[in-house]
């Protein structure tokens, strides 16, 4: 008979990328959509936005699942422009993806990836990682070739670092290579241990 007992961990996300990352830890978990409004707030810095949304996701799902450790996460990609900081969203279409990569060509994108853990003892533990990606100078032909070979319309910035997207880079600076994919596992492991979960 299958074990129907509730799993101790709940990932407040329906992202397949985060699910695959969390599976690396070998811990049983469930997933649930957090149903959080992700609208931009005026004057909010990228790091603040990623942390706020990670916390809101963890709290929203934790309220529905007492007795479970709930993980919320969010990533905000940004680029410094002459007009200020531009937030890079999931492009959604081929045309917007090409446009974002043209904007990133020869420049540096910053990815703030936050994780929040609503623990069963009522604490809220958080961590934010900063990853900086330096893109090489890209021709329009190279960008179109990449987009056609690896459509990444559901990824912030319009590329997949775990795939062919690395061919677009000059360098990546980070303390946690999993953060760029969407869930900083090194920081999450630290939070889980602090909450009493063996990792």
pLDDT, one tens digit per residue, over 130-169 is 999 999 999 999 999 999 999 999 888 899 988 999 999 9
pLDDT given at position 129: 97
pLDDT given at position 38: 84
pLDDT given at position 43: 85
Alpha-carbon distance 33 to 15, whole Å?
Answer: 9
Could you tell me whether strands 84-88 and 108-118 are parallel, antiparallel, or unpaired per DSSP bridges?
unpaired
pLDDT given at position 6: 42
Longest CA pairwise span in the chain (Å): 62
Q: Which residue has the higher pLDDT, 7 or 106?
A: 106
pLDDT given at position 5: 45
pLDDT confidence tier of residue 4, bands split at 50, 70 and 90: very low
pLDDT given at position 75: 95
pLDDT given at position 8: 79
pLDDT confidence tier of residue 191, bands split at 50, 70 and 90: very high
The domain segmentation of the chain, as residue ranges, is 9-194
The top-level CATH class assigned to 9-194 is alpha beta
pLDDT given at position 1: 41
Residue 32 has pLDDT above 80, yes or no: yes
Active site residues: 74
pLDDT confidence tier of residue 82, bands split at 50, 70 and 90: confident
What is the mean predicted confidence (pLDDT) over 163-182? 95
């Amino acid at each position: 008979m299958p074990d129907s007992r509730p799993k101790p961990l709940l990932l407040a996300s329906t992202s397949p990328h985060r699910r695959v990352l969390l599976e690396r830890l070998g811990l049983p978990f469930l997933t649930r959509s957090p149903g959080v409004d992700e609208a931009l707030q005026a004057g909010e810095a990228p790091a603040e936005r990623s942390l706020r949304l990670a916390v809101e996701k963890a709290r929203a799902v934790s309220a529905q699942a007492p007795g479970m450790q709930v993980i919320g996460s969010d990533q905000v990609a940004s680029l410094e422009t002459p007009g200020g900081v531009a937030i890079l969203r999931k492009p959604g279409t081929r045309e917007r993806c090409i446009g974002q990569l043209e904007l990133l060509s020869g420049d540096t994108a910053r990815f703030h990836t936050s994780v929040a853990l609503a623990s069963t003892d009522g604490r809220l533990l958080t961590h934010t990682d900063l990853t900086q990606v330096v893109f090489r100078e890209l021709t329009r032909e190279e960008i179109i070739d990449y987009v056609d070979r690896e459509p990444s319309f559901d990824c912030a910035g319009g590329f997949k670092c775990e795939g062919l997207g690395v061919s677009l880079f000059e360098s990546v600076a980070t303390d946690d290579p999993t953060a760029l994919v969407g869930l900083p596992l090194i920081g999450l492991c630290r939070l889980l241990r602090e909450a009493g979960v063996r990792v």
